[in-house]
Amino acid sequence: MARRAFFGALAGALLGAVAARAAYTAFTRKPPVGDVETWTRTNHRGEPITLLEGPAFVAGAGAAAAVIPGLPARVRAAVLLAVAGSGGLGAYDDLYGATSSKGFKGHLSALAKGEVTSGAVKILGIGVTGLAAAALTSRGPVDTVINGALVAGGANLANLFDLRPGRAVKVGLLTGAPVLAMSLHRDDPVSAALAALPMGAAAALLPEDLGERAMLGDAGANALGALLGLAATITLGRSGRLAVLGTVVALTAASEKISFTRVIAGNPVLNRIDMLGRRPVEQAPVKR
């Protein structure tokens, strides 16, 4: 039995879950910036919803990473950098972002014209922090580039799924599970803790998300994807990381042309997973 990895995963999941719930409770009483209205938005039903789930995930995952036993100093620093960088830049876009430009293509096209959008700041910033986090755990410049791209790409891709209640969290849990399983099989407590931490924090906030009381927003979704990407860089060999990175790039490129929501709604299996735990959709508008 992979005892060390099991206890590492258990510590990561429990600490992440407890810290995220505690942060959410605290932030709903006193938000980290502004007041409750600052973080209130309108969801796909036209109903008010809070974005405070995102900062709660970031704070909870960061606090858990700081105290999980057994993490090497460089790995701990990489986790804190990834979650703080992606989460902080995501929160900036949540609070101050404009919607005139969307997607990689839209933001980079605007940047080429001399317009610096909040999305472009986030994309470039997450790229830099992803590379910095990867540099702390990689063995050379090639691995640093691959791993940095995987951390940044994971952050962006997770955010593309945060369009319906619980969807980004479910995607995070489904994609994190194979990484966690591999860590348990290898009895690697460090990678097991890194994979379980964001999964535990996200699962603890899932009831708020499915209940349409809160959503991850850019802050939470970016941080969730970045941490799962970082866990993959610690766990997988180079060929595995390249395969995952290729999938991330392909899905990101596809999102510029197709609607994930339409694809999910049109597939019975994906739609059932997507609707699990959610309120029924009745004539809800479909958004990209």
pLDDT tens per residue across span 142-165 = 999 999 999 999 999 999 999 999
287 within some domain: no
Please tell me the chain's helix, strand, coil percentages from 3-state DSSP, rounded to the nearest 5.
75, 0, 25
Q: What phi-psi label fits residue 217: left (phi over 0), alpha (psi between -120 and 50 degrees) or beta?
A: left
221 within some domain: yes
183 within some domain: yes
If you search the block for the tokens 């009745």, which residue do you land on?
282
Q: What residues in the chain have per-residue pLDDT under 70? A: 1, 98-116, 281-288
The range of the structural domain enclosing residue 47 comes to: 3-275
281 within some domain: no
- The number of distinct structural domains making up the chain is 1
285 within some domain: no
286 within some domain: no
280 within some domain: no
pTM, full prediction: 0.91
* 24-48 confidence digits (pLDDT tens): 999 999 999 989 999 999 887 888 9
Distance CA 124, CA 111 (A): 11
147 within some domain: yes
Predicted pLDDT of residue 151: 97
